């Protein structure tokens, strides 16, 4: 290569670094995930997923004109390599500039989350636009998104069928479209299904997308990536990776794994980009990592609470009927009201079944047998030294229940008999 050719190549490279041409920016269109209609904003990102440009669609501006304007403006921004029209609005605090429809720089912090009652732009979605089945989100989910937008660590404590998984799906898809890396974590492989399938369905039609079901990986041509991790498969989930966003679903059912995996493996993966983490679950007792981060502010999690009834798409009558059918009020408090309660020591039978005409059994009521249930898993966790031996006397018959060795031996089946 001659010196003149080398200089020419170097100048071309410098020009590309200083400012990309509009045609070099990868453009992806998506639905407005907040309103569910045509997108009203656009954002450009560099190769590291940093927001470098944001544009707001003017009132009455046709989508084709807005798309062309955003494409040209993003092409003039140094470092911009991908343009996302739609999705979820970013906070805009890292954007170099934000353009409105009149071409002037806006002094705000980017497109604001719309308030209840606002409507989407009229017209259908652009051809090939990425969309999700559960948009727009309901009001309670919008409130959760507002909290997620303003905090790096958020714990969503929600009742069954509130919409935790659909919200995490929305965050994962938006993160990948924004040229960012997302890690999705679940306690078991089975829990990954409700997240993996809708995410793949949303991104499958994009040009150049690669899906590896064996490894649990999704790669977009622009650089966005999603990794799926099962915590029961490996305690090293997230090691060797760097993420902008970590999403943890059903974290209250981790069986003690997150207490070690989160600080040692997941949290360090967020250091490169000062990433965020959103964990969501229905409560499960009064212990575990999820319970601790919700009740101990030293972990730095902002907490959002929502019962099942906060989902307006669920019939109120069905929720009330389910509440009446549940055998214990503690179960309803935990599963429907998203309250942390202790269900371990409660009786498995309704109280009415243990009474006679609403009154306790008399002291001289004959008892012919004793039923005993032992949680072997809990016994193994806490150790045999924590479980005392029980000595019960029933109707002059003494039963020795030796929990330490898990033996149930009859002692003095009748008065005066030997072992």
- Assigned domain for 341 exists: no
- Domain assignment present for 18: yes
Instruction: Check residue 232 and give its pLDDT.
Output: 85
A 10 A CB-CB count for 341 gives 17
Of 279, 300, 335, the residue at which a domain comes to its end is 335
The verdict on 318 and 368 lying in the same domain is no
Are residues 189 and 307 located together in one domain of the fold? yes
Residue 9 is given by DSSP the state H
pLDDT of residue 89: 87
CB neighbours of residue 399 within 10 Å: 18
**Residues 266, 198: contact at Cβ < 8 Å?**
no
| Cα–Cα separations (whole angstroms), residue 4 to 7, 8, 10 | 5, 6, 10
In a domain, 303, yes or no: yes
Q: Are residues 300 and 160 in the same domain?
A: yes
Report how many domains make up the chain. Answer: 3
As a whole number of angstroms, the longest Cα–Cα distance in the chain is: 112
Whether 38 and 146 map to the same domain: the answer is no
Last residue in a domain, options 84, 99, 114: 99
Same domain, 159 and 281: yes
In the chain, which residues have pLDDT < 70?
1-23, 91-123, 343-354, 365, 367-419
What pTM value is reported for the model?
Answer: 0.74
In a domain, 123, yes or no: no
Residue 75 and residue 170 in one domain? no
Looking at the fold, whether 93 and 168 belong to one and the same domain comes out as: no
Confidence (pLDDT) at 342: 81
One domain, residues 191 and 315 = yes
In a domain, 363, yes or no: yes
82 and 28 part of one domain:
yes
Helices 164-177 and 139-150: angle between axes, nearest 10 degrees = 50
In a shared domain, residues 317 and 405 = no
Alpha helix ranges (H) inside 233-274: 258-261
* Domain annotation covers residue 40: yes
* pLDDT score, position 125: 82
Contact assessment for residue 308 and residue 161, using Cβ atoms and an 8 Å cutoff: yes
Q: In what order do the strands lie in the sheet with 302-306?
A: 210-212, 217-219, 225-230, 181-186, 245-249, 276-281, 153-158, 302-306
Residues 323 and 363 in one domain: no
Domain that holds residue 152: 139-335
Report the run of H or E that residue 246 belongs to, with start and end: strand 245-249
Domain annotation covers residue 261: yes
Last residue within a domain, chosen from 277, 310, 335: 335
Helices (H), 204-315: 258-261, 289-295
**Could you tell me how many helices (H) and strands (E) the chain has, helices first?**
10, 16
Q: What is the CA radius of gyration of the chain?
A: 29
- In terms of domains, do 16 and 67 share one? yes
């Amino acid at each position: 290569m001659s010196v003149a050719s080398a200089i020419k190549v170097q100048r071309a490279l410098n020009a590309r670094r200083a400012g990309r041409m509009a045609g070099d920016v990868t453009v992806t269109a998506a639905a407005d995930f907040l309103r569910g209609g045509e997108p009203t904003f656009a954002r450009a990102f560099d190769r590291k997923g940093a927001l470098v440009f944001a544009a707001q669609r003017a009132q009455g501006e046709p989508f084709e004109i807005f798309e062309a304007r955003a494409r040209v403006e993003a092409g003039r921004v140094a470092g911009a390599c991908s343009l996302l029209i739609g999705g979820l609005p970013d906070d805009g605090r890292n954007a170099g500039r934000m353009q409105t429809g009149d071409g002037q720089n806006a002094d705000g912090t980017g497109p604001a989350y719309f308030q209840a009652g606002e409507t989407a732009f009229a017209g259908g979605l652009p051809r090939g636009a990425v969309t999700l089945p559960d948009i727009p989100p309901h009001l309670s989910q919008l409130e959760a998104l507002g909290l997620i937008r303003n905090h790096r660590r958020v714990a969503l404590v929600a009742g069954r069928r509130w919409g935790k998984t659909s919200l995490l799906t929305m965050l994962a898809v938006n993160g990948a479209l924004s040229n960012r890396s997302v890690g999705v974590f679940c306690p078991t492989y089975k829990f990954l299904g409700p997240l993996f399938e809708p995410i793949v369905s949303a991104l499958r039609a994009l040009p150049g997308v690669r899906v590896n079901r064996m490894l649990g990986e999704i790669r977009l041509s622009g650089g966005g990536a999603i990794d799926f991790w099962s915590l029961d498969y490996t305690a090293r989930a997230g090691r060797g990776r760097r993420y902008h966003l970590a999403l943890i679903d059903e974290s209250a059912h981790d069986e003690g794994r997150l207490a070690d995996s989160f600080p040692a493996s997941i949290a360090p993966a967020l250091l490169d980009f000062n990433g965020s983490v959103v964990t969501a679950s229905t409560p499960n007792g009064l212990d575990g990592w999820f319970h601790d981060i919700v009740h101990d502010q030293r972990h730095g999690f902002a907490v959002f609470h929502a019962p099942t009834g906060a989902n307006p798409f669920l019939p109120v009558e069905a929720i009330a009927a389910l509440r009446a059918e549940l055998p214990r009020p503690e179960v309803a408090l935990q599963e429907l009201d998203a309250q942390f309660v202790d269900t371990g020591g409660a009786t498995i039978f309704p109280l009415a079944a243990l009474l006679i005409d609403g009154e306790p059994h008399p002291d001289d009521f004959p008892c012919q047998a004793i039923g005993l249930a032992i949680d072997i898993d809990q016994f193994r966790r806490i150790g045999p030294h924590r479980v005392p031996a029980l000595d019960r006397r029933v109707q002059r018959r003494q039963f020795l229940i030796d929990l330490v060795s898990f033996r149930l031996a009859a002692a003095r089946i009748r008065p005066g008999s030997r072992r």
